[in-house]
């Protein structure tokens, strides 16, 4: 590492960076995006070179885990070029992990190349195993395409974690099917509480909110849940199912239970650095990136922002600011 590591005011080292590389997506999941989105003009987005500089600066400041997300990261043109370049930090040992959150639609094309450049694990978002429901929730997606992508990832040797948003009245009835499918396929599984964002109306959001505490109760009717302190350095808390040995993750952003150990920050595709998932304080990194080919100003801006990282967050369904911020440039917890 070239520079002193990033430590926030609460003595948490910042070692995990999530970067959104595009605001575009080939799906329109109802809880995330409007059907007719207005995407950003290209000049607003960081170029692949700028993304490389930005990620590399964070790696130089001690980031060990880099997660690429979106939008849908695999629909960004030439994204493989970016991945290939950034994988030099894996080769050098500066970065421990380079990973991806994807909807899976393009994985059949990319899985082999991603594995070849050193990626080991990926997160794939999947809320249902039923084709019609899948088409309804994603508006534009095809389940078979995603399942093919996931199969390609598995064949390529990538470890797959399925991320499922828990939606009341939508996938409650698939809880045990999803668990069984992940057991059969050897995938990890994490459930995410739906967050107050996206395009759906407030009422629908509240309707769809299925607290993971309720889900755990449902799970406990069929399985013995063993508490575990295991962590993968992310926001998930885990239980083990005694009967199958599976580890199931829960991400509960609404009950801010992971703030105290938060080691993460995220950057949007326009270069905005968010220090906390649920707060709107933001630092512009695009201006220092574009102002000079030298990274001094960029690194100063990163340090100044980390010095403002808050202790934690508190979601409130009445706050609409979160919605606007997240749905446009999302790179969230579970993703």
Q: Are 162 and 149 within 8 A, CB to CB?
A: no
Angle at 209 between CA 208 and CA 210, to 5 degrees: 105
The answer to whether residue 32 forms part of the interface with ligand SAM (CB under 6 A) is yes
- How many binding residues for ligand SAM (CB under 6 A)? 21
Which runs of consecutive H residues, i.e. helices, occur in the chain? 48-60, 79-86, 88-91, 107-116, 131-138, 143-155, 175-185, 202-208, 212-222, 286-291, 296-306, 321-329
Q: How far is the CB of 312 from ligand SAM (least distance, A)?
A: 18
Q: Is 122 in the site for ligand SAM (CB under 6 A)?
A: no
Q: Compute the least distance from the CB of residue 70 to ligand SAM, in Å.
A: 5
SS3 68: strand
**Given the structure tokens 């509480």, which residue do they identify?**
193
Task: Write each residue from 43 to 82 as x if it is in contact with ligand SAM (CB under 6 A), else as -, in one continuous string.
Answer: --------------------------xx-x----------
Q: Which of 141, 149, 234, 335 binds ligand SAM (CB under 6 A)?
A: 335
CB of 143 to ligand SAM, least distance (A): 14
Q: Distance from CA of residue 258 to its chain's centroid? A: 15
The strand order across the sheet containing 159-166 reads 225-228, 237-241, 247-251, 188-193, 159-166, 121-125, 97-102, 65-69, 16-20, 264-267, 272-274, 282-284
Residue 179's φ and ψ, nearest 5 degrees, are: -65, -45
Closest distance to ligand SAM from the beta carbon of 85 (Å): 21
Stretch 210-269 residues interacting with ligand SAM (CB under 6 A): none
Name which of 162 and 301 has its Cβ closer to ligand SAM. 162
166 forms part of the interface with ligand SAM (CB under 6 A) = no
Q: Which is nearer to ligand SAM, 75 or 285 (CB)?
A: 75
Q: In whole angstroms, how close is the CB of 101 to ligand SAM at the nearest point?
A: 4
Taking the complex as a whole, the smallest distance from the CB of residue 183 to ligand SAM amounts, in Å, to 20
Region for residue 33 given its phi and psi (left: phi exceeds 0; alpha: psi -120 to 50; beta: otherwise) = beta
25 belongs to the binding site for ligand SAM (CB under 6 A): yes
Would you call 287 helix, strand, or coil by DSSP?
A: helix
Q: How many CB atoms lie within 10 A of CB 291?
A: 11
Task: Pick from 160, 165, 219, 248 the residue near ligand SAM by CB under 6 A.
Answer: 165
Nearer residue to ligand SAM within complex by CB, 124 or 299 = 124
Binding of ligand SAM by 138 (CB under 6 A): no
Our CB check for ligand SAM shows the closer of 80 and 297 to be 80
- Whether the CB-CB separation of 71 and 25 falls below 8 Å is answered with yes
Question: Is the distance from CB of 315 to CB of 253 less than 8 angstroms?
Answer: yes
Token pair of 275, please? 């220090």
**103 belongs to the binding site for ligand SAM (CB under 6 A):** yes
By C-beta, is 101 or 223 nearer to ligand SAM? 101
Among 48, 59, 90, 192, which residue interacts with ligand SAM (rule: CB under 6 A)? 192
Residues that bind ligand SAM (CB under 6 A): 25, 31-32, 69-70, 72, 101-103, 125, 163, 165, 192, 194-195, 197-198, 330, 332, 334-335
């Amino acid at each position: 590492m070239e520079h002193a590591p990033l430590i926030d005011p609460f003595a948490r080292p910042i070692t995990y960076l999530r970067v959104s590389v595009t605001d575009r997506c080939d799906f329109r999941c109802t809880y995330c995006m409007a059907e007719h989105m207005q995407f950003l003009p290209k000049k607003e987005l960081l170029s692949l070179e700028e993304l490389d500089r930005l990620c590399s600066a964070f790696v130089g400041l001690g980031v060990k885990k880099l997660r690429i997300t979106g939008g849908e990261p695999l629909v960004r043109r030439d994204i493989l070029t970016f991945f290939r370049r950034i994988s030099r930090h894996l080769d050098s040992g500066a970065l421990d992990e380079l990973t991806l959150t994807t909807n899976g639609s393009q994985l059949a094309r990319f899985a082999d190349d991603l594995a070849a450049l050193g990626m080991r694990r990926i997160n794939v978002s999947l809320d249902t195993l039923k084709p019609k429901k899948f088409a309804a929730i994603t508006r534009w997606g095809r389940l078979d395409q995603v399942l093919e992508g996931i199969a390609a990832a598995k064949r390529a040797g990538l470890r797959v974690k399925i991320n499922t948003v828990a939606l009341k009245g939508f996938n409650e009835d698939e809880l045990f099917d999803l668990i069984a499918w992940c057991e059969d396929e050897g995938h990890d599984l994490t459930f995410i509480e739906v967050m107050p964002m996206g395009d759906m109306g407030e009422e629908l959001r509240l309707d769809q909110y299925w607290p993971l505490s309720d889900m755990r109760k449902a799970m406990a009717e069929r399985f013995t849940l063993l508490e575990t302190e295991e962590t993968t350095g992310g926001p998930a808390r885990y239980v083990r199912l005694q009967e199958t040995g599976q580890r199931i993750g829960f991400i509960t952003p609404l009950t801010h239970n992971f703030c105290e150990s938060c080691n993460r920050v995220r950057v949007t595709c326009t270069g905005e650095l968010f220090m906390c998932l649920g707060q709107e304080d933001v630092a512009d990194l695009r201006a220092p990136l574009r102002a000079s080919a030298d990274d001094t100003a960029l690194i100063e801006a990163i340090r100044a922002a980390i010095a403002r990282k808050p202790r934690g967050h508190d979601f409130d369904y009445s706050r609409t600011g979160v919605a606007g911020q997240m749905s446009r440039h999302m790179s969230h917890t579970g993703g």
